[in-house]
């Protein structure tokens, strides 16, 4: 089973690129972020024509997450538990072929001297609680994929010193990310790769892509049951080099069939 995460930075603006990538890569499950459209206006017909079932959690112009799957999508949950007043569309969770999957668009948190950083940290605390209290006790394999807006270590950013005070690299953000891993959750790409300087996001400004000045913030986190089946995980750089591309590129993992 091939599971991919992809921050498309507007599903309607990037639709030709998304369809092209779906046809070329043929993932079984796709976790999309920053769809930036209400669910009623999601381009279902075009994606359905490629053989995907679709579940979305959207809002106008901002945020938005979705799950695409060749297999049926069951038991869908929209929104991260823990704050009924949070109306931002950043989390959708469902079961597909016995695996619980979630598409996550974690808050950016910048500028850190605004209320956006405490919101990011509180959101991460809610995610920690959900993983600890609900997902792990269920003992069901799960894959939590998405744009975490967290650079796990200095090996994952082109300029660690320059980014040190950014919300993506702040110790508070990294500590919460490590808390999830310390539960026995596996970060798929790093589990299989030791190289530094591999990125999944390159800003549109100042020629970051052409100079390969990026950060690695798109992650796939696997429960112990899913990690036991992990056979591959790669960053697909090709879509980022296309015309009118998203500033992110897909990350995918492959799980072997259950024994």
What is the per-residue pLDDT for 258?
84
Contacts of 196 (CB under 8 A, 6+ apart): 155, 156
Q: What is the pLDDT of residues 57-73, one digit of tens each?
A: 999 999 999 999 999 99
pLDDT at 136 over 90: yes
What is the per-residue pLDDT for 259?
72
CA–chain centroid gap for 22, Å, is 16
Q: What is the pLDDT of residues 140-154, one digit of tens each?
A: 999 999 999 999 999
The percent of residues above 90 in pLDDT, for the chain, comes to 99
d(CA 245, CA 180): 31
Q: What is the pLDDT of residues 202-256, one digit of tens each?
A: 999 989 999 999 999 999 999 999 999 999 999 999 999 999 999 999 999 999 9
HSE-up (13 A, CA, CB side) for residue 106: 31
pLDDT at 100 over 80: yes
Confidence at 125, pLDDT banded by 50, 70, 90: very high
Q: In angstroms, what CA-CA distances link 177 with 94, 95, 112, 121, 162?
A: 22, 23, 17, 10, 21
What is the per-residue pLDDT for 206?
87
pLDDT at 178 over 80: yes
Which of 1, 70, 10, 3 lies closest to 37 in space, CA to CA?
10
CATH of the domain at 235: 3.60.10.10
Where are the alpha helices (H) located in 13-101, listed in sequence order?
Answer: 15-25, 44-48
pLDDT at 103 over 90: yes
Q: Which residue shows structure tokens 């538990």? A: 81
- The bridge status of strand 65-69 relative to strand 74-78 is unpaired
d(CA 117, CA 92): 22
Q: Which domain holds residue 147?
A: 2-255
How many distinct structural domains can be found in the chain?
1
């Amino acid at each position: 089973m091939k599971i991919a995460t992809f921050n498309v930075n507007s599903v309607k603006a990037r639709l030709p690129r998304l369809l092209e990538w779906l046809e070329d890569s043929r993932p079984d499950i796709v976790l999309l972020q920053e769809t930036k459209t209400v669910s009623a206006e999601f381009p279902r017909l075009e994606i359905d024509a490629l053989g995907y079932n679709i579940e979305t959690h959207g809002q106008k112009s901002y945020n938005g997450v979705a799950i695409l799957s060749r297999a049926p999508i069951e038991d869908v949950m929209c929104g991260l538990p823990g704050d009924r007043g949070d109306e931002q569309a950043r989390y959708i969770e469902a079961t597909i072929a016995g695996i619980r999957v979630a598409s996550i668009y974690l808050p950016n948190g910048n500028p850190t001297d605004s209320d956006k950083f405490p919101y990011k940290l509180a959101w991460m605390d809610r995610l920690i609680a959900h993983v600890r209290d609900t997902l792990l006790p269920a003992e069901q394999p799960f894959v939590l994929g998405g744009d975490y807006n967290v650079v796990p270590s200095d090996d994952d950013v082109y300029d660690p010193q320059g980014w040190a005070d950014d919300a993506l690299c702040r110790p508070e953000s990294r500590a919460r990310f490590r808390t999830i891993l310390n539960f026995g959750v596996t970060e798929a790409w790093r589990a299989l790769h030791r190289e530094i300087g591999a990125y999944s996001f390159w800003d549109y400004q100042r020629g970051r892509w052409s100079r390969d000045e990026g950060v690695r913030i798109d992650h796939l986190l696997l429960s112990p049951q899913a990690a036991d089946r992990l056979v591959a995980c790669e960053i697909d750089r090709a879509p980022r080099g296309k015309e009118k591309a998203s500033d992110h590129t897909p990350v995918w993992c492959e799980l072997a069939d259950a024994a």
